[in-house]
Structure 1
Amino acid sequence: MSLHNRKEMNQSAHHHLTMKHFDHSPLHMYGEDNITQNITAPDYNNATECTNIMIPQELFLTLGLVSLVENILVVLAIIKNRNLHSPMYYFICCLAVSDMLVSVSNVVETMFMLLHDNGLLMMMPGMMKHLDNVIDIMICSSVVSSLSFLSTIAADRYITIFYALRYHSIMTTQRAVTIIIVVWSASITASTFFIFYYTNNAVIICLVTFFFITLVFTAALYLHMFILAHVHSRRIMAFHKSRRQATSMKGAITLTILLGVFIICWGPFFLHLILILTCPKNPHCKCFFSHFNLFLILIICNSLIDPLIYAYRSQELRKTLKELIFCSWCFVM
């Protein structure tokens, strides 16, 4: 995982920071003597007559900054409002942090590329490699943690709906914190392993398999929720207790929307990985690879859209966000 393909796709120039797996040949390999071994990247455009879409670096930077500000506001709103101090919102806060990892890595990488392109920054190969690895780990940690927290929130909503009376004894704050620590630890560890062994196809297979397992698990929980909750809602309404059920279902619907957006935005990324494994030399696959910049834009858009979904679906969060924005505006004025 890294980011120099953006530059290769746009300019076919200096071998830069980018997602390692999207080179079908090895990257710069830095030996102990710090001698750079330049390996030419695949010529995507000559492989087929696909049109390479030029995307300005300024667009990446703008989207990254907007996404970063949005997700910071979500985290601050959840911290500020005690009514949002519940396991589900803790997990949503972690989702926002996952999105922030994408935003920060994109902003940092784009700024370095812009500075380098304008001759304002010179980096030694060793420093570039270390920065590349850090950015890669951030992006990989984001996707692994996002999938994990989407599944965790699905399980949380499932417990809320079908074990409502025992929810607070099952999903305690202590257990929620433990889950968060385990997910982040596993995500960072797996991402580090993934980056340092990126040349092994087994690593790509593991990531793709994890993607599909979490999606199947989450989809199965939601399907069961929506089928049985429809029957349960009728019984609960008969006892005039529909409010809690409606709130729980609203939370489930919100996370269903988040999952759908995640699949749309990250789907091309994982399809890219699958095609690397199955048909790296096929002209049609190489045509798909040539649109890598668009896949990056979709990933960044996922980080930008998620906070809008949180705010639209949660009145309490929306109110707190308005207060934060208003206070920030008054402070600036």
Structure 2
Amino acid sequence: MSEESLVSPSWVTPDPTLSSRGAEPDNATAALFPAAVAPPRPPDWLVNPWDVVLCTSGALIACENGLVVLVIWQNPALRAPMFLLIGSLALADLLAGLGLVLHFFFAYLLRSDPAQLLTVGLVVASFSASIFSLLAITIDRYLSLYYALTYNSERTLTFTYTMLVLLWGVSLCLGLLPVTGVNCLGAESTCSIVRPLTKNNVAVLSVSFLLLFGLMLQLYVQICKIVLHHAHQIALQHHFLAATPHYVTTRKGVSTLALILGTFAACWMPFTVYSLVGDYTYPPLYTYATLVPATYNSIINPLIYAFRNQEIQRALWLVCCGCVPASVAQRARTPSDV
């Protein structure tokens, strides 16, 4: 690798206060450190530990979501709209995990701008598709409750395919922006907290996330109202509101919805807010401290949306050991599975 390379093996822009490796020391530095005792520079092969954390998270994300994609792909019974959307979420997270791993290896082995742009574009597209898939799952759950009698119609399947085409199309366009020239490689002053994304690009992504989060919040509030209304009607027929088992499971369902939304916000909100207020001059530690928790959302997604589903649990048991435990086979679906 030449000494004039400008590529940084990291997600953040190099500290602008540091001189390039090939620059001559200034007079003050020469006076404090004569040539014979010049201050040591970190070796070129030194790996940023935060990048190692991101790479490790990416590997875990890829393995975990790859299992979900494999199970849904191989099981013909899992073709309902709900499973298609869960599969879309798992595929998006799988690609995001692969993007994090590829970025680590390309950044420290190739150290080329084209490779960095491709991997960053893949990560942006994948995480965008993951967030859009979460919104699509929320919409699907709302429609399954609001239009319960007509939900299992051909029209619902068509609507699901339309959502999938739209969310992946928009995500692909967002991921192609850095590759097609919307990046800060030519002007470091336009960089955001994540190199090589520009400040405007990250601002658009952050505002879009806030809008999507607001829409998901509104939909989950409506879902809670519908579930509680149904539970109240059933409980009145039994004349014992608090003692009804259905009421207990309904409260669990509402708690599950709060857990889903709270986890999503806890993982992504710090990075989103920091993306709006920070720029490339801020300490890299802040970027990594908010970016790493955002990747954890892709680790948690299968635990919430896939592995808790009884149909996917049966398919996993069949894949792993060729049998289904009685506790899994006989478990009835409850509102807490919403």
With normalisation by structure 1, the TM-score equals 0.68
Larger-Rg structure: 2
Counterpart for residue 176 of structure 2:
192
Q: CA deviation at 1:188?
A: 0.6
**More helix by proportion, 1 or 2?**
1
Counterpart for residue 86 of structure 1:
80
C-alpha distance in structure 2 between counterparts of 1:86 and 1:177, whole Å: 11
Gap change, CA 1:205 and 1:160, over 3 Å in 2 = same
Please tell me whether residue 110 in structure 1 is matched to residue 108 in structure 2: no
User: After superposition, what is the alpha-carbon deviation per residue over 1:169-211, rounded to whole angstroms, capped at 9, x for unaligned?
Assistant: 3752232122211211111112222553244543333212111
C-alpha distance in structure 2 between counterparts of 1:245 and 1:93, whole Å: 31
1:222–1:252 contact (8 Å) kept in structure 2 = no
Counterpart for residue 262 of structure 1:
264
Gap change, CA 1:68 and 1:208, over 3 Å in 2 = same
Gap change, CA 1:111 and 1:205, over 3 Å in 2 = closer
Counterpart for residue 324 of structure 1:
319
The residue correspondences of 1:83-232 to structure 2 (distance < 5 A) are 83-113=77-107, 116=109, 123=110, 128-169=112-153, 171-193=155-177, 196-198=181-183, 199=190, 201-232=199-230
Higher relative contact order (CA 8 A, sep 6+): 1
Which of 290, 295, 298 is equivalent to 2:290? 295
Q: CA deviation at 1:303?
A: 2.0
Q: Does the residue aligned with 2:67 lie in a helix, a strand or coil?
A: helix
Aligned-residue Cα RMSD (Å) equals: 3.8
Q: CA deviation at 1:59?
A: 4.1
C-alpha distance in structure 1 between counterparts of 2:165 and 2:101, whole Å: 26
Q: CA deviation at 1:146?
A: 1.9
Which one-letter code corresponds to 2:163 in the other structure?
Answer: I
Gap change, CA 1:75 and 1:163, over 3 Å in 2 = same
2:93–2:298 contact (8 Å) kept in structure 1 = yes
2:7–2:113 contact (8 Å) kept in structure 1 = no
C-alpha distance in structure 2 between counterparts of 1:78 and 1:94, whole Å: 10
Q: Extract unaligned runs of 5+ from structure 2.
A: 24-47, 184-189, 191-197, 239-243, 323-338
Q: CA deviation at 1:24?
A: 8.9
Gap change, CA 1:192 and 1:290, over 3 Å in 2 = same
1:87–1:171 contact (8 Å) kept in structure 2 = no
Gap change, CA 1:296 and 1:209, over 3 Å in 2 = closer
Which one-letter code corresponds to 2:221 in the other structure?
Answer: L
Q: Does the residue aligned with 1:78 lie in a helix, a strand or coil?
A: helix
Please tell me whether residue 76 in structure 1 is matched to residue 74 in structure 2: no
2:10–2:107 contact (8 Å) kept in structure 1 = no
Q: CA deviation at 1:297?
A: 2.7
Gap change, CA 1:97 and 1:255, over 3 Å in 2 = farther
Equivalent pairs, count: 272
Q: Does the residue aligned with 1:272 lie in a helix, a strand or coil?
A: helix
C-alpha distance in structure 2 between counterparts of 1:85 and 1:248, whole Å: 27
1:71–1:100 contact (8 Å) kept in structure 2 = yes
Q: Extract unaligned runs of 5+ from structure 1.
A: 1-12, 26-35, 40-53, 117-122, 328-333
